[in-house]
Structure 1
Amino acid sequence: MMKLFILSAVMACSAAAWAETVTIGAEDDWAPYCSKVGNDAKGFAVDVVREAFKAAGVEVKFALVPYARCMSEAKEGKLVGCFNAARNSLLENDYLWHAKPMFNARINIYAPADSSESGLTPKSLEGKDVAVTNNYEYGDDFDRNTKIKRSVSNQDEQGFRKLLAKRVQYMVAYEKVANAIFSKNKAEFTGKFKAVGMTAEPGLYIAFSKKHPDSAKFVEKFNQGMEAIRKSGKYKSLETAWP
């Protein structure tokens, strides 16, 4: 009888610990921030989202899908939200946003390693063939510039292969993501590319759905959680774990 009482108490405490559960869309191929490893979401942004919601008493589950689909399903209200979105003027009115970015990330312009160029900006890319990844944001100056000739791939890795094969003149990619790709493909990519400029260093967010009935509530929960993990030092420990 005592064992049954203890088990019931443990189950009650466990249920109380998670007042609510939410499913958030997460990109499946964007290491080291978020990617699918086995059947699980792994990465710095994954840990930030998980810990922030946890601090607000919310258990988060991740729906791992390609980024374009993730953002589309959040916009349509099929998902509460999707990360990692680089908030910009093109997205601003389509989603709800939490107060502060989860992190900032530098976006580089890459050229072949023998390039002598440096200091390039989005304006420098006008009229050039530039590899990009489907539905990614690269900063307002790039995203709104219709004079840039975009060669769209489904993954960053494919874009770098286009650059390697000289099918494009440049590739734009987030610096840490590019470094992870180079490390993964050492034999093929080592010493083949160089950063010759940057497009932006935007803040990355969860883009919360305007159509999902629970979104506004979870925006506030996430705001509370982010503030809590920054004050507690948990956020700093996550940064240390994902240099």
Structure 2
Amino acid sequence: MKPSWLSILWLCAVAAQADSVTLGVEDDWAPYAAKVGNEAHGFAVDLVRAAYEAVGVEVSLVALPYARCMAEARVGKLVGCFDAARNSLLEERYFWHRQPLFRARVQIYAPSHSRDSDLTLRQLEGRVVGVTNGYEYGEEFERNPRILRSVSNRDEHSFRKLLARRVDYVIAYEKVAEYLMAENAADFRGRFKPVGVVTEAGLYIAFSKKHPDAPHYLEKFNRGLDAIMRNGKYRQIEASWK
């Protein structure tokens, strides 16, 4: 039996009401978020998908360089971008969910033969430090103009600068650095070591203050993240990435 026009219209209305959101995601920050083929993969990607799934929201992800991702969220081209380290410098530019997706340690790296240990940011003043464009490394670092920055588009490029002695140190997130050492084992394994801790940062989706749908999906995400933390899904995803 052919469906009636009324049933077709009803099905179209239901489809139109289906809740879905498009977010930007960092394309080169494994194991948290990276573009693999044409898809975004990573620990943070799995968390975001699971949180929205828990509240009936379908997620589409656009993987792009982090600085561009944050810029597009800021002007309202995207509902939000992740993973952003919330701080007072960004606080007024975006909306933020209640609790971070996860926390990650930021470290100072030196060549493996270095005698440095327990370095502080003050000890980096006047030294050239490799960083990645747009990344946040904690307010103490961001507010210290006496630390000389050498900016690259990728963490890998910063570590290659360190190999070539073009920078004195690199600042990077611990798990990202560990991933790079493993992925570039022929060049990197055993060549670097952490010599100081900068901060431990909470990572978030930065929701746009310019996009009209952002408040709706911010509240949905708050509810979804709470849900997967209660029902054990968060711990399950976390265990799968260890």
Q: TM-score range by the shorter chain?
A: over 0.9
User: Which residue type is aligned with residue 174 of structure 2?
Assistant: E
The 5-angstrom pairing of residues 178-193 of structure 1 reads 178-193=177-192
> For the residues of structure 2 that align with 1:157 and 1:58, how far apart are their CA atoms?
34
Counterpart check, 1:63 vs 2:58:
no
SS in 2 for 1:48: helix
1:116-156: per-residue Cα shift (whole Å, max 9, x none)? Answer: 11111222211110000001000111111111100000000
Deviation at 1:106, TM superposition (A): 0.5
**Structure 2 unaligned residues grouped into runs of 5+:** none
Q: How many residues end up aligned between the 2 structures? A: 236
- State the TM-score, normalizing by the size of structure 2: 0.94
The 5-angstrom pairing of residues 2-151 of structure 1 reads 19-151=18-150
1:19-66: per-residue Cα shift (whole Å, max 9, x none)? Answer: 311000001100000000010000000000001011111101001110
> For the residues of structure 2 that align with 1:123 and 1:216, how far apart are their CA atoms?
39
1:134-185: per-residue Cα shift (whole Å, max 9, x none)? Answer: 0100011111111110000000000000000010100000010001111110
> For the residues of structure 2 that align with 1:19 and 1:224, how far apart are their CA atoms?
18
> For the residues of structure 1 that align with 2:206 and 2:123, how far apart are their CA atoms?
30
**Structure 1 unaligned residues grouped into runs of 5+:** none
> For the residues of structure 2 that align with 1:238 and 1:87, how far apart are their CA atoms?
23
> Which segment drifts farther, 117-126 or 156-165?
117-126
Q: After the TM superposition, list the runs of 4 or more consecutive aligned residues in structure 1 that deviate by more than 3 angstroms.
A: none
SS in 2 for 1:57: coil
Deviation at 1:197, TM superposition (A): 0.3
> For the residues of structure 2 that align with 1:220 and 1:126, how far apart are their CA atoms?
41
User: Which residue type is aligned with residue 193 of structure 1?
Assistant: F
> For the residues of structure 2 that align with 1:139 and 1:198, how far apart are their CA atoms?
11
- State the TM-score, normalizing by the size of structure 1: 0.93
Aligned to 1:166: 165
User: Which residue type is aligned with residue 122 of structure 1?
Assistant: L
Question: Percent of aligned positions with the same letter in both sequences?
Answer: 60
RMSD: 1.8
Counterpart check, 1:176 vs 2:175:
yes
User: Which residue type is aligned with residue 37 of structure 1?
Assistant: V
> For the residues of structure 2 that align with 1:128 and 1:195, how far apart are their CA atoms?
16
> For the residues of structure 2 that align with 1:121 and 1:49, how far apart are their CA atoms?
33
> For the residues of structure 2 that align with 1:121 and 1:99, how far apart are their CA atoms?
30
